């Protein structure tokens, strides 16, 4: 049983975490390159937030937005 957990530990440390080790080493030489993926995720989240707000405005303008607390059957 001990070898099973050691195999799981080896899988993560020796294989799956290697990209994170590479990013950690890259950060010492170039911060922007190391955080490029983070910036991409931030841009995607901002775009999704703007799209969501746009859709909320469309529903509110068409009076399709039901803000009554009993709008869902499980609330009333």
- What residues does each domain of the chain span? 2-61
Distance of alpha carbon 67 from alpha carbon 55, whole angstroms: 15
What's the confidence (pLDDT) of residue 75?
A: 64
What's the confidence (pLDDT) of residue 23?
A: 87
pLDDT over threshold 80, residue 5: yes
Q: Is the pTM of this model over 0.85?
A: no
Distance of alpha carbon 23 from alpha carbon 28, whole angstroms: 9
């Amino acid at each position: 049983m001990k070898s099973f957990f050691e195999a799981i530990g080896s899988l993560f440390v020796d294989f799956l975490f290697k990209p994170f080790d590479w990013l950690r080493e890259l950060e010492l030489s170039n911060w922007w390159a190391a955080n490029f993926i983070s910036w991409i995720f931030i841009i995607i989240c901002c775009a999704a937030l703007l799209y969501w707000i746009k859709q909320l405005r469309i529903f509110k303008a068409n009076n399709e937005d039901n803000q009554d607390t009993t709008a869902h059957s499980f609330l009333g």
